[in-house]
């Protein structure tokens, strides 16, 4: 018997055999999240996206908590304690449904919950994390400001002491989950440097008007945060961090999820193009039989599965405690750029049908335009890598 006869068959859905790298527990997490998304998101996402809303977000959050998807890579306080790879697989499956759903989970777990879990007091952890893990309470993360996106050190939001209390004033912009959140982690300038504050959203002076008229991430709640003389007790401050190290470490954790999530949007678009190419006929045969279409499909598959392999590698490094922020920038920069290119190529295969919401391609492409620039623009990640490669700081 020849050696080739012992080889497993080629799997178009997994051409590199990446599933062989996954443990049974990894596959179980992936299958659980994929099944939930197929049941609760995919039948409705076109309607939600076209309407520019995410109805029933609180119910969805409770369901996501029920399957352990909220703060899933954190341990204790009701969190699942999943591995980084398992969290990544969940992000991939959620974004294969829609980037807005993955954003809901990322902001909840990798930003708001992560900040409290890593930098909060025991009292703060006990008060918020179990309810956030279950989806009873939705959280948001207030860092970006109207005039200071990529330059958080220049933020204008201020927190001043007033006796034992803190008084917060400022504005935050483009905040996912803002108007439905029960708690906000808000970063502000203080006389001691940048500090994080745990802000119950029913505190007087706090408001979160929703941002409308978006052409991207339409099935997601995006808000402005307005803080007008918001009075907080002394124990509202996150005690374990001062300076930009706090919010930037949270962003690095969230960017890791994007490395995986972008490949979910790419996979969905690739699968739509592949199915279409095998069924759409022109000149008497399926367009998938033409050389140029096959070249497009081959190039898309190569970039898709290279990206998944990169995400898996970074996940293993995170699980081993060896993942550097520069490596997260590497993954975010590559995978989001390639995901957008896959969506654009898929659109050309679908032709005019590619712009229709009957297919997922244009929805994913427009969503990824937001993913490309949030939590670090292309240029910022290029400069992070440039500094790491040369030892020279081009940020100044």
| Token pair listed for 167 | 């008084």
User: Which residues are CB-contacts of 179 (< 8 A; sequence separation ≥ 6)?
Assistant: 208, 209, 210, 221, 223
Which backbone phi and psi does 137 adopt, to 5 degrees?
-120, 130
- Radius of gyration in angstroms for the set of CA atoms belonging to the chain, rounded to a whole number: 22
Q: Cβ atoms within 10 A of the Cβ of 160, count?
A: 13
| 263 and 339 Cβ atoms separated by less than 8 Å | yes
Instruction: Provide the pairing of β-strand 183-190 with 193-200.
Output: antiparallel
Instruction: Considering the candidates 95, 224, 303, 375, report the single residue annotated as catalytic.
Output: 375
| 104 and 36 Cβ atoms separated by less than 8 Å | no
Q: Cβ atoms within 10 A of the Cβ of 294, count?
A: 13
Helix ranges restricted to H, the chain: 24-40, 45-51, 57-66, 84-97, 99-106, 114-119, 122-134, 245-279, 291-319, 325-350, 361-373, 378-390
Give the per-residue SS3 of 199-251.
Answer: EECCCCCEECCECCCCCCCCCCCEEEEEEEEEEECHHHECCCCCCCHHHHHHH
In the three-class reduction of DSSP (H, G, I as helix; E, B as strand; rest coil), residue 168 is classed as: strand
Task: Mark whether 326 is an active-site residue.
Answer: no
Q: Cβ atoms within 10 A of the Cβ of 56, count?
A: 13
Q: Give 197's strand partners.
A: 186, 237
Q: Give 158's strand partners.
A: 169, 189
* Gap between the Cα atoms of 144 and 224, Å rounded: 10
Q: Give 225's strand partners.
A: 172
b/e code 61-74 from CB counts within 10 Å (16+ = b): beebbebbbbbbbb
For the chain, give the number of residues: 396
* Catalytically annotated residues: 375
């Amino acid at each position: 018997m020849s050696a080739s006869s012992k080889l497993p068959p080629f799997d178009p859905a997994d051409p590199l055999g990446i599933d062989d790298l996954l443990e049974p527990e990894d596959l179980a997490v992936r299958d659980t999240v994929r099944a939930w998304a197929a049941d609760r998101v995919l039948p409705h996402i076109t309607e939600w996206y076209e309407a520019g809303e995410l109805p029933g977000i609180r119910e969805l959050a409770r369901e996501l908590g029920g399957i352990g998807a909220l703060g899933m890579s954190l341990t204790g306080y009701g969190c699942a304690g999943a591995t980084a790879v398992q969290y990544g697989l969940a992000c991939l499956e959620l974004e294969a449904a829609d980037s807005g759903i993955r954003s809901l989970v990322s902001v909840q777990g990798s930003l708001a919950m992560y900040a409290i879990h890593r930098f909060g007091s025991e009292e703060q952890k006990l008060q918020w994390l179990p309810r956030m893990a279950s989806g009873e309470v939705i959280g948001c993360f207030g860092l970006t400001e109207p005039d200071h996106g990529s330059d958080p050190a220049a933020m204008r939001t201020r927190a001043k002491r007033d006796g034992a209390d803190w008084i917060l004033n400022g504005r935050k912009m483009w905040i996912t989950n803002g108007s439905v959140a029960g708690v906000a982690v808000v970063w502000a300038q203080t006389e001691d440097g940048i500090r994080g504050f745990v802000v119950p959203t029913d505190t007087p002076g706090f408001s979160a008007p929703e941002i409308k008229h978006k052409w991207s991430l339409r099935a997601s709640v995006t808000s402005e945060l307005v803080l007008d003389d918001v009075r907080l007790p002394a124990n509202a401050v996150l005690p374990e961090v001062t300076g930009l190290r706090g919010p930037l470490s949270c962003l690095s954790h969230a960017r890791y999820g994007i490395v995986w999530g972008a490949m979910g949007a790419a996979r969905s678009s690739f699968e739509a193009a592949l199915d279409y190419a095998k069924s759409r006929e022109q000149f008497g045969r399926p367009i998938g039989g033409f050389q140029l279409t096959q070249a497009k499909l081959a190039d898309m598959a190569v970039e898709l599965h290279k990206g998944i392999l990169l995400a898996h590698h970074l996940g293993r490094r995170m699980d081993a405690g060896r993942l550097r922020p520069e490596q997260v920038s590497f993954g975010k920069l590559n995978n989001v750029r390639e995901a957008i290119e896959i969506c654009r190529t898929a659109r050309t295969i679908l032709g005019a049908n590619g712009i229709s919401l009957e297919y997922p391609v244009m929805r994913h492409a427009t969503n990824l335009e937001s993913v490309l620039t949030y939590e670090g623009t292309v240029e910022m990640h290029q400069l992070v890598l440039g500094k790491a490669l040369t030892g020279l700081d081009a940020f100044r």
